[in-house]
Structure 1
Amino acid sequence: MDSLFIEDIGVITVVIFGVVLLLVMGLTLILFFYLSRKKIIQKELEKKTLELNHQKEMLKATIVAQEAERNRIAQDLHDAISAKLNVVSLSANFLLEEENVTEQETYEIINHMLKVTNKTIESSRKIAHNLLPPILEKFGLGAALEELCDEFNNSKKVQVSSKIEYTTGRLSKDNELHVFRIVQELMNNSMRHGKAKGIELNFNPKEENLFLYYKDDGLGFDTKKIGIQKGLGLRNIETRVSLLQGEISYHSEKQKGVEVEITI
């Protein structure tokens, strides 16, 4: 009897120990899954926060770029249009108010007014062209980029070599304008800040994506300090690349020019 009782106690002890062990293992697994799930949720929240901060930065950069563009247009209108129209207005008032104006003086004033008017018309065309190049609207991105390269070549200040392989309509009109502005900004940066004498531009398909390669032989910059040196131009470029859902990388050294690779 005693031996059977002892055996029963032993069995009960083993069962209780097994149940406790299973409970501990169960609680451990539950705690593990809880902590793992909490960590995953925390990572997701951090990721979402980073995305939101990035979107805020892009929005801020877009607003800054828009304001800068508005200021530039306002300055162009003031310098190139308002000032010239003011000259025409003064000349017209002079002819109306002055009585002792000779025929020769009248002819000279009118001739000057016509010249100023023609210059004003030409200035307004340039401003309109900068806002939206007509060739981009009519013939697409490829033709617009070729014309842009020709314009820089014709300036005689820089030599541009280009290879553009683009099928019209592959990008939407808005996205074509983004690409055009990116290349325009890169070229302007090369001329103004890089003092470049040579520019290379390749724009072509790469599998399912579009690949843009840009290089100049200008002053270059330290890529380690790009976050500090990043001006409005580079921020504007990065904002447009983001809107295109693309990726951008810079390669540069001081006095060794700049290479930019963009995949759209």
Structure 2
Amino acid sequence: MSGDGSSRRAEIHHEHRDVSGGWLRPAVFGVMDGLVSNFALIAGVAGGTGDTGVIALAGMAGLAAGAFSMAGGEYVSVASQRELALAEIDVERRELQRHPEAEEEELARMYEAQGVEPALAAEVARQVSRNPGTALEVHTRAELGVIPGDLPSPWLAAGSSFVSFTVGAALPLVPYLLGIGSLVASALLSCASLFGAGVLVSTVTARSWWYSGLRQLVVGGVAAMLTYALGSLMGGIAL
């Protein structure tokens, strides 16, 4: 402890990554969805026809349609979630303005429920309630699980989905765009990408790299095989 009379500060021994932002889920889901859905689409069309031009066209159409659909869906979904949160935050703000004593008492009870002694809980609630902004943040965090100034951005979610889906959906198309009209080449690249994407996801989760990689590989592989079988069946019927 220093002897100059300055206040002591708690040491910060670690930092946490952002687990509530709006980018990780749509980005991860976009890559996986783009890769799995377009690989399955290409496999299904390849099962029904040997025309590489038709297969490539179907893959490009799947990429474009999926990317715009994902971006639009994520924007509407996150925007609606954000608007709902803002509406509930406004409800809490009005309650703090109309019934400050009741809200202070409610906050004290919440602290008591967490094991704080009643007298100390009442004092903490009183001090927190002196600042309207702090009181609103504490109440919304405790009651709604959100922070007023840290809500997910619908534009960020939409952009992440669009870019990530496009990247994922483009991978199974690469062999066809390079003139290698082989489903085997597309399948090998897609399987390697599925496993690699799973490994990449494991770096921001608690799962092991091999488990995450194999999980994505199995999910994507099963989807592609089923779609290929369906495409072969439908192609045989059409012929």
After TM superposition, the score normalised by the length of structure 2 is 0.29
Computing the radius of gyration over CA atoms, which structure comes out larger, 1 or 2? 1
Structure with more contact order per residue of length (Cα contacts < 8 Å, sep ≥ 6): 2
User: Greater helix percent: which structure?
Assistant: 2
